[in-house]
A and B are shown apart, each in its own frame.
Chain A
Amino acid sequence: MLEVKDLQVSYGQSEVIGNLAFEVGRNETLAIMGRNGMGKTTLMKALMGILRSRKGSVKLDGKDLTKMESYQRVAAGLAFVPQGRMIFSALTVQENIETGLETADSKTIPDDIFALFPVLHEMRKRKGGNLSGGQQQQLAIARALVSEPKVLILDEPTEGIQPSVIKDIARVLNEIRKTREISILVSEQVLSFTLAIADRLLVIDKGRFIHENRRDQVDAEKIKQYLSV
C-alpha cells in the first residue's frame, strides 16, 4: 500500500534519516519504535511532505507522492495525526473535524465518527483548545479519519496521555482498521500499546532500522533494551 524507498532526510548538513526503505501492506498496522531523537517524527513529517526529502521515493497504491505538497498527499489518501496533536485550539470541536473534510465528497461529518468518539459529540460546541489531552488526541484522529484515508499515519499518539485513555485509543485504532480496511503506520515508544495494535514492528536507531519482527514473534525484552536510554 505505502511503499518507501531509499528515503533520505537532512536538516542542513546533518542527516537524520539515511536510506530508509519499508512497506506498509494493505490493511496492515506497522509500528516504528525508537527512542527520542532517532528520527521517528522526521520520518513521519517527510512522509507527509512537511519536510522535504533529499533523496528517495514515497509511493501510495502505486502513485508517486514524492514531489507532492502535504494537501495533495492527503488528497491521494494519506492522513496525519501529528505528535502533540496539533488541533486548532480556537476552532470548535466540530469545526476541527470539518477541516478534515476538504478532500471528502460530502462536507458534513459522517455519523460513524461520533459513534467511534462519543465524547467528541458531547463536546462538539466547545473550543478544541479547552479539551483534555486525551480528548484532543481523539479529536486529531477523528479529523484525520474524515478524509477517508487509505493510510493513517500517527506520530506518538500516546505521548502525555493517561493509561486508561491509551487503552481506548488502541481499541479505536483496531476497530478502525477492521471496519474501514485501512493501513496504519504508527510511531511509538510505549511497547504495551504497540503490541495491542501492530502486526509488525520496526525499531529505528539514528535514522536506520536495526530490528524487525512480527507481533507474534516479538522478543519484548530485546525491544525494551533498544528503547531504554
Chain B
Amino acid sequence: MGGYTFSELGSIFVMQGFSGLSLFCVYLLMALGLAIIFGQMGVINMAHGEFLTMGAYTTYFMSKLAVDHFPALVGIYFPFAIILGFLIAFGMGYLLEVLLIRHLYKRPLDTLLATWGVSLVLQQVFRSAFGAREVSATLPAWLLGSVKPTETIDIPLNGLFMMGLTLVLSLLVFIFLFRSRWGLKVRATTQNRVMSGGVGINTKKVDRMTFAVGCGIAGVAGAVFTTIASTGPTTGSLYIVDTFLVVVFGGAASLVGTVASAFSIAQAQSVLEFFLTSSIAKVLTLLTVITVIMARPEGLFTIRVRK
C-alpha cells in the first residue's frame, strides 16, 4: 500500500474514515428529507438539493448580518440560522406543494420532470440574486480548530459538531415518523390514500405538511453544510443524485436503511478515494450498489408482510 508504515495507515484510515463520516452526515441530512418525500409520498423531488442551498444561503446571510451589524452575536447566531433555515425551506416547500406537487401525486414520473424544472429555475434565481461566486459563512470561533488525539490524527471540530447535529435530527425525524400522531397519519396516507380518507384522515393536509417538513429538514442540512464547505447556486444539485442513490439503496420506506446506506456509501467513497482516484472510487461504489439492488430490488431494509 504505497510505502506507508502501519501506524500511518491506521491514521489514514481514521482520518479518511472521519471525512467519510462528514460526507455521511451530508448524505444523511439530505436523505432524511428525501426519504420522507420520496420514500413515504412517492414524489421524486429533484429540487430537494435547492432546499439545502436555501438553508445554506440563509446561514450565510445570518452570519453576514452578525458580522456587519452585530459583532457581539457572531458567537451565537448559528442556532438561529438553523431554525431560520428550517422555516424558510419549510415555507417554500409548503408553497411548492400547494402550487405544483399536489397536482402530480398520481403521476410520479411527471414529478421528476416538474421538480427538475423547479430545480433549474431556483438555481438561476440563486445565481441572479446572490451571484455565481461561492460564499462562505463566518463561523463562530467555537466551531474552528481540531482535536488531536495522537500525533498523526487530526479531527476537525466542525465535523464533530455536524455529526452531533445529524444524530439529533435523525432522532427527531424518527420520533416524528414513528412515535407521533402525525407520523402515523403520514404512514397511513402513504400506504393507502383513499382508505386513510375513509378512516377520517385529512390526507391533503398530511401531504402538505409532510412535503414541507421534508424540505425543512433539507434547509437544516444546508445550514449545517456551511460549516464544512462554501455555498454556491449549484451546491445542492451536486448531492441530489448521490442522495437518491442513498435512499434507493437503503430501502425507500426504511429509516434505518437510509442511515445504513448513507454510512456505507459515504465510507466506501471516502476511504477508496484516498487510495484510488475519485472516479474509480465512484465506479466501485456504484457497481456494489447495482449488485445489491439486483439481489434486493426494494433496498437493504424492507418491511416484510404478506402481499
Contact = CB atoms under 8 A, between A and B. Distances in A.
Interface in B159-204: 181, 184-185, 187-188, 191-192, 194-203
Given A99-B184, A99-B185, A90 B305 contact: yes
Interface residues of A, number: 30
Nearest to B253: A90
Interface string A56-92: 0000000000000111001100011010001011110
A69 B201 CA distance: 10
Contact of A107 (B181, B196, B303, B306): B181
Interface in A9-60: 48-50
Nearest to B196: A99
Contact of B303 (A50, A90, A100, A102): A90
The 7 A-B pairs with the shortest beta carbon distances in the complex, nearest first, are: A129-B305, A74-B200, A70-B197, A102-B200, A103-B200, A86-B195, A80-B198
A71 B187 contact: no
Contacts of B200: 70-71, 74-75, 100, 102-103, 147
Contacts of A103: 200
Contacts of B185: 99, 102
Nearest to A144: B199
6 contacts: A50-B198, A70-B198, A88-B187, A90-B187, A91-B188, A102-B199
Contacts of A69: 197, 202
A82 B305 contact: no
A82 B303 contact: no
Nearest to A90: B303
Contacts of A91: 184, 187-188, 191
B191 A71 contact: no
Interface size of B as a range: 20 to 34
A98 B198 CA distance: 13
Interface of B: 181, 184-185, 187-188, 191-192, 194-203, 253, 303, 305-307
Main secondary structure on B side of the interface with A: helix
A102 B201 CA distance: 6
A89 B201 contact: no
A213 interface: no
Nearest to A50: B194
Contacts of A70: 194, 197-198, 200
A127 interface: yes
A103 B192 CA distance: 18
A89 B198 contact: no
Given A71-B203, A99-B201, A130 B195 contact: no
Contacts of A143: 199
A147 B305 CA distance: 26
A95 interface: yes
Contacts of A48: 198
Nearest to B183: A95
A144 B303 CA distance: 25
A80 B201 CA distance: 13
The residue in B194, B196, B199, B202 that gathers the most chain A C-beta atoms within 10 A of its C-beta is: B199
Contacts of B202: 69, 71
Contacts of A71: 197, 200-203
Contacts of A99: 184-185, 188, 196, 199, 201
Nearest to B191: A88
Given A90-B253, A90-B303, A129-B305, A80 B199 contact: yes
Nearest to A147: B200
Given A71-B203, A75-B200, A86-B195, 11 more contacts: A69-B197, A74-B199, A86-B192, A86-B194, A91-B188, A95-B188, A98-B181, A99-B185, A99-B199, A102-B201, A127-B303
B195 A89 contact: no
B106 to A, nearest CB: 15
Interface string A170-186: 00000000000000000
